[in-house]
Amino acid sequence: MKYGFIGCGNMGSALAGALSRITTDIAVCDRNPEKAKALAEKYKLQATDLQEVCESCERIFLAIKPQGLDKLADDIYDIIVKNRPVIITMLAGVNTATVGRLFSEELPVIRIMPNTPVGVGEGVVLYCGNAFADEALINDFLNDMQFAGSLIKLDEELIDAGCAVSGCGPAYMYMMADAVAAAGEKCGIERNTAVRLAALTMLGSARMMLESEKSPEQLKTDVCSPGGSTIEGVKVLKNASFKDTVSSAVEAAYRRNRELGGN
Ligand SMILES: NC(=O)c1ccc[n+]([C@@H]2O[C@H](COP(=O)([O-])OP(=O)(O)OC[C@H]3O[C@@H](n4cnc5c(N)ncnc54)[C@H](OP(=O)(O)O)[C@@H]3O)[C@@H](O)[C@H]2O)c1
C-alpha cells in the first residue's frame, strides 16, 4: 500500500481523512483496533495491525504521542530496517535525526507539523525532510496532501517554534472564541448563535490578515473608532496583559516541544 498510519487518534484520523481525497491506498492501525476500524469505514481505507502496516506500506505516518516512540521503535525496528519505508513523523519535538537514529540513519524521513483543522481542509502543515527525502518524494507527498490545507516548508530548527504557533494554535483560538461567545450569551444571545458569530468573526478576521497589506495591530486599530465601544473592550484586554499572556502560552508550548524532543 502507498500509505500506512500507526495511530488513529485526533491527528492521524484528520490526516488520513485529508489524504483519502487523493488516494485510498491507505492502511491504518491503532493500539485500539476499534479506532482503526471506525476510521477505515469512514474513509474506505483498510484497517489492519501494526505488523501489516510496517510490512506492506511504502510510506508510514507515525501518529502516536512522542512518549510512545521508543517502545514503538523497539517493536518495529527489524521490519522497518528490512523494508525501508519512508517515515512521516508528526511527533511534537521529535526531529528527523532522532527518527534516523532509532531506525536507520539513511531512511528517508519527512517531518510534518499539522494542526487539527486539516480535518476540514483548512489546516496548516509545516514540513521538512532529511537528506534522504529527495525533491521528487517531497513533491509527490505534497500533492497527496493537498486537501489538508496550507503546506508550508520550514527549516527543521524552526519546526518546534512553528508547532507552538500553528500546531497548538487552534486551542488558543478556540479559547478566545469560547470567551467571546460566553460573553455574548451573558448579554442575551443564544449559545449556538453566539459561537457561530465568534467563529465567523475569526474566519473573516483571518481573511483580512491574509488578504490585506495591514498588520494585525493596524487592523485592530481600524476597528477602534475613537469614543466607540471596541476601544473600551481593547482597554480591558490591555489592562489584563492580554498580549503578554498569550505570548507566554505560546512560549510555554515551545519549551514543552523542546522537552519532548529531549532538548
Ligand atoms: N492533536 C494535535 O492537535 C496535534 C498537532 C500537531 C501534532 N500532533 C502530534 O500528533 C501525534 C498524535 O497526536 P494525537 O493528538 O492524534 O494523539 P492521540 O489522539 O492520543 O492519538 C494517538 C493514537 O495512537 C495510539 N497508539 C499509541 N501507541 C500506539 C502503538 N504503538 N501502535 C498503535 N497505536 C498506538 C493511541 O492509543 P492509546 O489511546 O491507547 O494511547 C491513540 O489512539 C502526537 O505525536 C502529537 O505530538 C498533534
CA of 133 to the centre of ligand 1 (A): 24
pLDDT in tens, 157-190: 999 999 999 999 999 999 999 999 999 999 999 9
Is 247's C-beta closer than 6 angstroms to any atom of ligand 1? no
Residue 185 and residue 56 share a domain: no
Angle at 254 between CA 253 and CA 257, to 5 degrees: 85
Instruction: Please choose from 65, 70, 113 the residue to mutate so as to test ligand 1's pocket, defined by most ligand atoms within 8 A of CB.
Output: 65
CA of 5 to the centre of ligand 1 (A): 11
Q: Percent of the chain scored above 90 by pLDDT?
A: 98
Nearest CA to ligand 1 atom 17: 9
CA of 90 to the centre of ligand 1 (A): 9
Residue 251 falls within a domain, yes or no? no
Longest dimension (CA), the chain: 70
Residue 249 falls within a domain, yes or no? no
CA of 231 to the centre of ligand 1 (A): 42
DSSP symbols for 77-134: HHHHHHH-PEEEE--TT--HHHHHHHS-TTS-EEEEE--GGGGGT-EEEEEEE-TTS-
Give the structural domain span for 181: 168-211
pLDDT in tens, 63-114: 999 999 999 999 999 999 999 999 999 999 999 999 999 999 899 999 999 9
Atom of ligand 1 nearest to the CA of 170: 3
Residue 191 and residue 110 share a domain: no
- CA-CA distance, 61 to 190, in Å (whole number)? 42
For the chain, the domain total comes to: 2
CA of 66 to the centre of ligand 1 (A): 8
> What's the whole-model pTM score?
0.95
Residue 71 and residue 104 share a domain: yes
pLDDT in tens, 113-144: 999 999 999 999 999 999 999 999 999 999 99
pLDDT of 263:
75
Residue 226 falls within a domain, yes or no? no
Residue 175 and residue 153 share a domain: no
Q: Is 134 exposed, middle or buried (0-12, 13-18, 19+ CB in 10 A)?
A: exposed
Which contiguous run of DSSP H or E holds residue 153?
A: strand 149-153
Residue recorded with cell 481593547:
234
Q: Say which CATH number the domain at 202 has.
A: 1.10.3730.10
Is 13's C-beta closer than 6 angstroms to any atom of ligand 1? no
Of the three residues 127, 162, 197, the one that is the final residue of a domain is: 162
Residue 66 and residue 96 share a domain: yes
Counted residue by residue, the chain has a size of 263
Residue 138 and residue 99 share a domain: yes
Instruction: Please choose from 5, 11, 62, 258 the residue to mutate so as to test ligand 1's pocket, defined by most ligand atoms within 8 A of CB.
Output: 11
- CA-CA distance, 79 to 86, in Å (whole number)? 13
Is 30's C-beta closer than 6 angstroms to any atom of ligand 1? yes
Answer whether 196's CB lies under 8 Å from 180's CB: no
Residue 113 falls within a domain, yes or no? yes
CA of 206 to the centre of ligand 1 (A): 28
pLDDT in tens, 204-225: 999 999 999 999 999 999 999 9
